[in-house]
Structure 1
Amino acid sequence: MAALSPTVPDKAAILPVVEATLQWDLNSTDLPPVDVALDMAEQFTRYGRMVADELRTRCLSIPADSDAGLAAQATLGEAARRLNLKPLARSAAPRSAAHRAQNLARLVQALNRAMDQVSEEEAVSAPHGSCCGDDPELGSPPGRADHRARAREVPRARLRCRRWRRDPAPRPRSVGEQRLTEARWMTTMAELGMVTIAAGDTNSYPRRSEPIALPIWEKVTDRAHMVQRTYLDADGTRRSDTRPDGVLIDAGYVDLARHAADHLDGVGKEALAATAGFNKPH
């Protein structure tokens, strides 16, 4: 008789387990038993594979170059690696087991978030008619596909093959939220025992204060720049966006410039000098 496949938990059952797992303090001595942590990691792996399979299929129904499509592909790429890691032995250290479970819990969150975004994109991209190019009666539709085709100089023949709707355009992507999402993706590469070196320009600010003061946004005349480098707090105040840095630091990443300034002889605060573009006209 063939062995029964392990039961895959549903979303309602897995989310409370994810939240409980992420509450563990890895620096505490009061960690869950190794068997408990590894059992959770196994649940997250089974659930993650199920969601990843569905997400991969659902991505076929939305434009590949949409925000949701690009975000989903990045999440699926990380899922392909993390969901196929060799399971830890039952003799593993409690902290290693708990760390593995937490990283898989974060991946589950990322997959569910990507699924929600794809669902929203499906609603926006749902076909409500056919794009008919230069039809003299209907004309060229003022929808998203038409805009993208013009912007990227896509041949008109391809434009005719796209589907369109006359509903209002989807809400624009928030630059700040995109930065925060990408920082969260990076936390899945901070697993215990991994070495990750990342370089990039987050177009945001360090959470810990540095010698160069942050802009006083009320005095910045370039309002587009102000919006791109800030986020709207719950009280309606524009604040310098330090959230991506906070996410990376909390996940265990080390800012090499800060490390050099704090710990390397002969370097000092020069390591924290402003990067290109800091003094752009405001």
Structure 2
Amino acid sequence: MTVVFDPEGRFGVGLPLDREPHMQLVRAVISWAGRAPLPPGDAEQIALQLTGHAWAVAAELRHLCVGLPPDAESRVLAEAVLEEADRRLPQPLLGTLRCVQMRARLVRALYERLDRLAARAAPTGPPL
């Protein structure tokens, strides 16, 4: 077993998230209604992919929250989504479409919060 010393919680933060392929998967999974059933093995693999990606997006979101005041509205909203992620992501995968769609919705919610915090942190004008 390898132990990583990461006192600031930066391991993995700042790595490229490869967003677009994951968001295409999220859109496909969420819209999967009235079609042929999703084979359980495929559902499990998609859920694993989305779960891993959700953890990565959550780590990035946590990193952006650190610099915000504790009572800032954007931080409170982001922390609500992070609490939901912390509650749902460790749950066992069921190999069902419902389970996969729940993970997909969570990835989408994490990205929505990440985008709002990133837009808030981005410079808005030329340096003085």
TM-score by length of 2: 0.77
> Given the superposition, is the C-alpha separation of residues 70 and 9 from structure 1 closer, same or farther in structure 2, using an over 3 Å criterion?
closer
Shift of 1:29: 6.5
Matched residue, 1:10: 18
User: Please, which of 64, 75, 95 is the counterpart of residue 69 of structure 1?
Assistant: 75
Q: CA deviation at 1:120?
A: 2.3
Between the two structures, name the one with larger relative contact order (CA 8 Å, sep ≥ 6).
2
Measured at CA, do residues 11 and 48 of structure 1 come closer, stay the same or move farther in structure 2, by a change above 3 Å?
same
Task: State the partner residue of 2:121.
Answer: 122
How does 1:61-210 map onto structure 2 within 5 Å? 61-88=67-94, 97-123=96-122
* Count of matched residue pairs: 111
Query: Partners in 2 of 1:44 and 1:64 — Cα distance?
Result: 29
- Residue 62 of structure 1 aligns to a residue whose secondary structure is coil
Give 1:81 deviation, angstroms. 0.9
Structure 1 gaps of 5+ residues are 3-7, 129-282
TM-score normalised according to structure 1 size: 0.36
Q: 1:80 to 1:62 in 2, by over 3 A?
A: same
> Which structure shows the higher helix fraction?
2
Deviations 1:170-227 (Å, cap 9, x if unpaired)? xxxxxxxxxxxxxxxxxxxxxxxxxxxxxxxxxxxxxxxxxxxxxxxxxxxxxxxxxx
Q: 2: distance between equivalents of 1:14 and 1:29?
A: 21
Match of 1:261 in 2: none
Partner of 1:40: 46
Q: Which residue of 2 aligns with 1:142?
A: none
- Other-structure match for 1:178: none
**Distance (whole Å) between structure 2 residues aligned to residue 29 and residue 61 of structure 1:** 45
SS in 1 for 2:86: helix
Q: Which amino acid aligns with 1:100?
A: C
Q: Which residue of 1 aligns with 2:62?
A: 56
Q: Offset at 1:50?
A: 0.6
**Cα gap change, 1:65/1:98 in structure 2, threshold over 3 Å: closer, same or farther?**
same
Residue type matched to 2:112 in 1?
Answer: R
1:50–1:107 distance in 2 versus 1, CA, 3 Å = same
What corresponds to 2:7 in structure 1? none
2:37 pairs with one of 31, 49, 69: 31
Query: Which residue in the other structure is 1:145 paired with?
Result: none
Q: Displaced runs of 4+ in structure 1, greater than 6 A?
A: none
